[in-house]
A = this chain, B = another copy of it.
Amino acid sequence: MDVRTLCLAVLSKGDASGYEIKKAFEEGPFSHFQRAGFGSIYPALSRLLSDGMVEARAQEQNGRPDKKVYSLTPSGMAAFHHQLEGEPEADTFRSDFLFLLFFAAQIPERRVRMLIDRRIALYRERQRTIEQQRADRASSETPGDPGHEFVAGFGESLYRSAADYLEANRETLIAELRELRKTSRVAAE
């Protein structure tokens, strides 16, 4: 998904400024499976504007510089729905963490341990964040959007599995690394 489409998606949920769109990718529900920075959002909005897919109005603010609030035009809405009809591209997953652990045999045991522990904490935190957000939505009056809930559940489930795996296999890895080091020391003699 290119950043233009992502902007259309955010705007389909309500008007927003460039800054607010960025926040949607930092904190909102999108944050777990899409992202975009200022370097992509502002050029995307300019182009959407000149293509007539969004409209902008300057909103005065006391003190702060004007906010440019963008809203979807009918043409932009149509373009967004057209994008929803296309075939999804393959997911991308990139992990420096797994890259490092792949070379665990070249890393001191203490550091391996620390890397894994930190990662478990991170995954647990993400898991709890999603749980919390879902609980908040569940307690509010409006029934949650089924798609939103399904996606949130997917994320929650994956973070839990990831943390579970790390917890379950951490000691085995450490033990195997020790064994390996012992063997290679013997071989070197």
Contact = CB atoms under 8 A, between A and B. Distances in A.
A115 interface: yes
Contacts of A92: 35, 92-95
Nearest to A116: B150
B115 A88 contact: yes
Contacts of A98: 32-33, 151, 154-155
Interface string A96-140: 111111111111000000010000000000000000000000000
A81 interface: yes
Interface string A39-78: 0000000000000000000000000000000000000000
A171 B180 CA distance: 47
Given A88-B99, A115-B88, A162 B173 contact: no
B33 A99 contact: yes
Contact of A165 (B9, B91, B153): B153
Given A88-B96, A99-B1, A146 B9 contact: no
Contacts of A35: 92, 94
A97 B102 contact: no
Interface of A: 1, 9, 29-30, 32-35, 81, 84, 88-107, 115, 145-151, 153-155, 157-158, 161-162, 165-166, 169, 172-173, 176-177, 180
6 contacts: A33-B102, A35-B92, A81-B106, A92-B95, A101-B147, A146-B180
Given A30-B102, A158-B165, A161-B161, 8 more contacts: A32-B98, A33-B98, A33-B102, A84-B107, A92-B92, A98-B155, A102-B151, A150-B172
